[in-house]
Amino acid sequence: MKILGLETSCDETAAAIVEDGVKILSSTIASSSEFHEKYGGIVPEIAARQQVKVVIPVISEALISPVEEIDTIAVTIGPGLIGSLLIGVETAKVLAWAWQKPLVPVNHLIGHVYGNFVAEVQNAKCKSQRIEFPAVVLIVSGGHTELVLIEDHGKLKWLGGTRDDAAGEAFDKVARILGLGFPGGPAIEKAALSGDPIAFNFPRPLIYEDGFDFSFSGLKTAVFRKVAPVKKEPLSSGSFTPADKAGAGTTSQEIADLSASFQQAVIDCLIHKTLKVAKKYQVKSILLAGGVAANQKLRAAMELVIKKNLPSTLYFQPSLKYCTDNAAMIASAAYFNFRPVPFEKIKAESNLPLF
C-alpha cells in the first residue's frame, strides 16, 4: 500500500510517499526556519504564510508515483500551530476529494514514533520487523517530552512527561540565552563539542523522584544565572528578552562549557527515566523519537547505557533526517493505524491530545 503523507504542523512543510508503512519512496521537506532566526523563535504568522507558498510545490516534488498508484492520503491534524496545520489539513482534504482517496488523520506525536519504522533503503522491512512490543518510546520534540508505553500499534499508555518546558524548548531557550541562535538544539550541540560537560554542576530535576515526569524549566534558569550576572531574573512570564542573551564578559569557552554541561544534564534526566520505565515494564524495545533525538550525544549515550544495563533490550533511533519533522513518519503512522475518516469530519486541532 502506498500512502502520501503530509506534514505542516510547524515550520516544516513536508510530503512523502511510503510503501507498506516502512519503505520511503520519496520525501520532500521545506523549512521556513531561516525566516524565524532573527526573532529567536518561530513566528506563527510567518510559518503559516510560508506553508501556503510551498505546500503545492512540495507535494508535486514528492509525488513521484502516478496518482492512481497512491492508495491513501495521511495528514497531521495536530498538535501544532493552528495556521500551519490548517494549510496541510485543508490541502489534504481537497486532494482526497479530487482524487477520491481515503484520508487518515494523524497525531503529530504518534507520527514521530513511526520515524523509527521508516527507512529509505531496501531493508526497511527488516527494521520495522525487529521492533518488538511492549516498547517504550521517549518522544522529545520542541513542544513535548513524553514517555509512552506501546503494547501494540494503536495500544498506547502515557506514563509521564514534562511538567513545564519540553526538552527541545529548553534547548531553544538556553541557546537564546547564550546567543547561539535558532533552532537551539543543533546550535547547543555544536557549541558543546568544545565544552566540558562537568564544568558546571547543573541540577538534574526530578531525577530521583518517583514517577516518570521531567522538568526542565529550573535547569534553564540555572544556566541563565551563570551568564547574566547583572540582570539575574527572567521576565515574570518565564521567558527572556533577546537583550538578556550571553551577558557581556561571557567567554566563548564559557559558552561552550555551559552548553556542554546543560546538554549533559538534559541527557542524564532523559536517559534515567527512560531506563526506569524500561525496567519496570520489562519492555522488549526502547525507541527514541522527535527533534531532540537528532542529538548525537543523546543517541550515543542512550545506546551505551542500554547496552550496559539492559543488553537484551532492542534499541531504535530514527535516522537523523527522520527525527525532525517530516512526512514519511506521518504516512507510516497512518499505515500501522489505518483508520480513514470522511474528509468533512477532519479538522486541525492545535492542542490535540496524545490519545
Q: Which residues bind ligand KG4 (CB under 6 A)?
A: 10, 141-143, 168-169, 171-172, 183-186, 189, 290-292, 294-295, 324-325
The rounded distance, in Å, linking the Cα atoms of 28 and 43 is 22
CB nearer to Zn ion: pick between 172 and 325: 325
Nearest distance, CB of residue 198 and ligand KG4, angstroms: 19
CA separation for the pair 173, 183 (Å, rounded): 9
Residue placing its CB nearer to ligand KG4 in the complex, 110 or 222 = 110
**Restricting to residues 86-145, which ones interact with Zn ion according to CB under 5 A?**
141
Residue 244 interacts with Zn ion (CB under 5 A): yes or no: no
Q: Please report whether residue 325 would count as binding Zn ion according to CB under 5 A.
A: yes
- Supply 70's cell numbers: 497512491
Q: Give the contact letters, 62-91, x = binds to Zn ion (CB under 5 A), - = no.
A: ------------------------------
| Least CB distance to ligand KG4 at residue 188 (A) | 6
Q: How far is the CB of 169 from ligand KG4 (least distance, A)?
A: 6
As measured in angstroms, the least distance from the Cβ of 180 to ligand KG4 is 11
Q: Shortest Cβ distance from residue 323 to Zn ion (Å)?
A: 9
Name every residue whose Cβ is closer than 8 Å to that of residue 329 and which is 6 or more positions away in sequence: 5, 7, 111, 112, 113, 114, 115, 117, 118, 318, 322
Minimum CB–partner distance for residue 248 and ligand KG4 (Å): 25
Collapse the DSSP code of 11 into the 3-class scheme (helix H, G, I; strand E, B; otherwise coil) and give the result.
coil
Which of ligand KG4, Zn ion, none has residue 183 at its interface (CB below 5 to 8 Å by kind)?
A: ligand KG4
For residue 290, count CB atoms less than 10 angstroms from its CB and return exposed for 0-12, middle for 13-18, buried for 19 or more.
Answer: buried
3-state SS, residue 43: coil
C-beta of 183 vs 247, nearer to ligand KG4: 183
**Would you state the cell numbers that stand for residue 272, as one nine-digit string?**
534515567
Min dist CB 291 to ligand KG4, Å, is: 2
What are the cell numbers at 161?
512527561
Q: Smaller CB distance to ligand KG4: residue 3 or 329? A: 329
Rounded CA gap, 98 and 103, in Å?
12
> Would strands 72-78 and 2-7 be described as parallel, antiparallel, or unpaired?
parallel
Instruction: Count the site residues for Zn ion by CB under 5 A.
Output: 2
Q: In terms of CB distance, is 19 or 172 closer to ligand KG4?
A: 172
Can you tell me the distance from the alpha carbon of 71 to that of 67, in angstroms, rounded to the nearest whole number? 9
Taking the least distance from each CB to Zn ion, the nearer of 106 and 135 is 106
What is the arrangement of strands in the sheet containing 103-107, beginning at the earlier edge strand?
Answer: 23-31, 12-19, 2-7, 72-78, 103-107
Identify which of residues 213 and 325 has a Cβ nearer to Zn ion in the complex.
325
Handedness of CA 175, 181, 186, 189 (dihedral sign): negative
Q: Is 254 in the site for Zn ion (CB under 5 A)?
A: no
Which of the choices ligand KG4, Zn ion, none does residue 11 contact, using the CB cut-off of 5 to 8 A by kind?
A: none
184 binds, among ligand KG4, Zn ion, none (CB under 5 to 8 A by kind): ligand KG4
Give bridge partners of residue 12 from the DSSP assignment: 31
| Shortest distance (Å) from residue 325 CB to Zn ion | 4
Q: Work out the number of other CB atoms within 10 angstroms of the CB of residue 310.
A: 16
Q: Which residues bind Zn ion (CB under 5 A)?
A: 141, 325
